[in-house]
Amino acid sequence: MVVGDKYLYLRKRHVYDFEQMNIKEQVSTALKRFNLQTNQWKKWIEIKLTEKTYAKVMKTMKFGKEAVEEIENRTDQEVKSYTDNRFPIMNLWIFYNILTWYITHRAVSLNHRVEMERRLRSAMRHFKRAKL
């Protein structure tokens, strides 16, 4: 799962000596971080995706032509209405889910997926600038 902020960043195998870990503290900390992230996701439901935010995110993601087409097709499945100039009416949460769907289901390799997740974390700075 891709989240917007780096709460816990590991660059090694996830293998630990459980005797040396404070599991209760680790779980408590992880749940607090997840709660903060879910609060952010709830705010995204209230924020309408603008053409400006869409363009900035898509530029940051550096999708190829086929990827853009797949994302647009998925968008057509997810949204019910469009503006007069055919821009889909959706909130940031729906847009985020479409992007993560593409990354998790359409990336051509694990390395590509990891790179796309990195780009998405970077692109999400545009979400923070979006307003209600």
Give residue-wise pLDDT tens across range 58-105.
Answer: 999 999 999 999 999 999 999 999 999 999 999 999 999 999 999 999
What burial class does residue 123 get, using C-beta atoms within 10 Å of its C-beta: 0-12 exposed, 13-18 middle, 19+ buried?
buried
The whole-number pLDDT of residue 55 equals: 96
Rounded CA separation 5/71 (Å): 23
Higher pLDDT, 129 or 101: 101
Token reading at 53: 């935010």
Residue 33's pLDDT band (cuts 50, 70, 90): confident
The phi, psi pair for 73, rounded to 5°, reads: -65, -45
The whole-number pLDDT of residue 83 equals: 95
Distance in angstroms between the alpha carbons of the first and the last residue of the chain: 25
* Res. 28: pLDDT tops 90: no
